[in-house]
């Protein structure tokens, strides 16, 4: 692997630190944990605010309903587990909280394939799809440490249910330090004219690498970071795609019901060629190496390059 001169940050760590900052600023912030605080990094909050940290044990359904109770009493609860358990096990509890538009924040750690060692049971590749289907839900997926901090703070400010996807591993910074994060607003990470890539999470970085590769071949690629997966502003997506010759979506998620679905629907009727780089309706598996797993599922720079060339044909 090539040595990259970029700043790496661990999003989980940034998340844990941001929770502590929020806790200092606002005593309504409370944290619930389902026995994974040492890896979701809520242990940082627990250490500083033991009276506002509620360990519920390995019981995610209970955790979400307890969070609902806290929210209706004016608290701002952040409920934590791995993405797969935070969204899958308490689906009905989340749904009921969304019916009531309760101010709960569900934080899924180790999203996508990033829990590479633990295999299919622990890898969340359909979490965005199931959360997107619930009315009133907001879904946020930071691309790096810088954006993780901004997104967690924005979620705390926003009054309503939010699901945040947190990456497990160290990832390079790709977003700007400056500028405010606004829920619902995708951001252009790189300007370009031939093709536009819509990506989120770690796949924004992979897309940047693909764009760099293609620049040498004279292909100009625009990259849009869709860190709000719901709500999707159709008008903005259409304006960002207009004038290009094709569109590629890139996500660490199944091809069904995630970014590819959202973008393809937003661009209906435009006649633009669209290709998707995503997990192709398969479960994950174990690997000792995250990148190897991404490669296995086709979430690589090469796959993105190929998709771009395909839409240009």
* Shortest CB 71 distance to another protein, Å: 8
* Shortest CB 133 distance to another protein, Å: 16
Cβ of 239: how many Cβ atoms within 10 Å? 10
Q: Out of 74, 218, 269, 271, name the contact with another protein by CB under 8 A.
A: 74
Is residue 242 a contact partner of residue 270, using CB atoms and an 8 Å limit?
Answer: yes
* Shortest CB 115 distance to another protein, Å: 23
Of the candidates 243, 211, 245, which has an alpha carbon nearest to the alpha carbon of residue 225? 211
Burial class (CB in 10 A: 0-12, 13-18, 19+), 306: middle
Q: What is the DSSP string of 246-304?
A: EEEEEEEEESSSSHHHHHHHHTTTS--EEEEEEE-S------S-HHHHHHHTT-SHHHH
Is residue 217 a contact partner of residue 128, using CB atoms and an 8 Å limit?
Answer: no
- Told to check if 57 binds another protein by CB under 8 A, we report yes
Helix (H, G, I), strand (E, B) or coil at 78: strand
- Told to check if 65 binds another protein by CB under 8 A, we report yes
C-alpha dist (Å) from residue 168 to 109, 110, 112, 134, 290: 6, 4, 9, 25, 10
Q: Which is nearer to another protein, 97 or 141 (CB)?
A: 97
- Told to check if 52 binds another protein by CB under 8 A, we report yes
* Interface with another protein: number of residues (CB under 8 A): 28
Identify whether 60 is a catalytic site residue.
yes
Q: Which is nearer to another protein, 104 or 139 (CB)?
A: 104
- Told to check if 226 binds another protein by CB under 8 A, we report no
Q: Out of 51, 218, 269, 271, name the contact with another protein by CB under 8 A.
A: 51
The residue annotated as part of the active site, out of 25, 48, 55, 60, is: 60
- Told to check if 75 binds another protein by CB under 8 A, we report yes
Q: Which stretch binds another protein (CB under 8 A): 95-103, 112-120, 146-154, 192-200?
A: 95-103
Peptide bond into 231 cis (omega under 30): yes
- Positions annotated as catalytic residues are 60
Contacts with another protein by CB under 8 A lie at 51-52, 54, 56-57, 59, 61-75, 77, 92-93, 95-96, 99-100
């Amino acid at each position: 692997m090539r040595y990259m001169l970029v700043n790496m940050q661990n999003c989980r760590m940034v998340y844990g630190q941001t929770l502590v900052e929020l806790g200092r600023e606002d005593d309504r912030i409370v944290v619930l944990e389902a026995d994974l605080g040492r890896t979701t990094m809520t242990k940082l909050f627990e250490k500083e605010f033991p009276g506002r940290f509620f360990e519920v044990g390995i019981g995610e359904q209970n955790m979400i309903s307890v969070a609902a109770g806290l929210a209706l009493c004016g608290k701002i609860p952040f409920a934590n587990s791995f993405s797969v358990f935070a969204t899958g096990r308490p689906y009905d509890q989340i749904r009921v909280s969304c019916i009531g538009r309760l101010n709960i924040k569900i934080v899924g750690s180790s999203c996508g394939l990033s829990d590479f060692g633990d295999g299919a049971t622990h890898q969340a590749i359909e979490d965005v799809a199931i959360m997107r289907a619930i009315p009133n839900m907001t879904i946020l997926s930071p691309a790096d440490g810088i954006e993780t901090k901004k997104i967690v703070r924005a979620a705390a400010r926003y009054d309503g249910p939010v699901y945040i996807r947190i990456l497990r591993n160290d990832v390079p910074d790709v977003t700007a330090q400056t500028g405010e994060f606004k829920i619902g607003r995708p951001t252009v990470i790189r300007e370009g004219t031939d093709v536009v890539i819509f990506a989120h999470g770690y796949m924004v970085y992979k897309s940047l690498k693909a764009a760099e590769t293609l620049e040498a071949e004279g292909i100009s690629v625009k990259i849009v970071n869709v860190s709000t997966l719901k709500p999707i502003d159709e008008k903005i997506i259409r304006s960002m795609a207009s004038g290009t010759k094709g569109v590629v979506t890139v996500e660490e998620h199944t091809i069904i019901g995630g970014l590819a679905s959202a973008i393809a629907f937003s661009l209906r009727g435009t006649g633009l060629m669209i290709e998707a780089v995503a997990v192709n309706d398969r479960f994950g598996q174990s690997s000792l190496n995250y990148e190897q797993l991404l490669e296995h599922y086709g979430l690589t720079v090469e796959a993105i390059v190929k998709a771009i060339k395909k839409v240009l044909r």
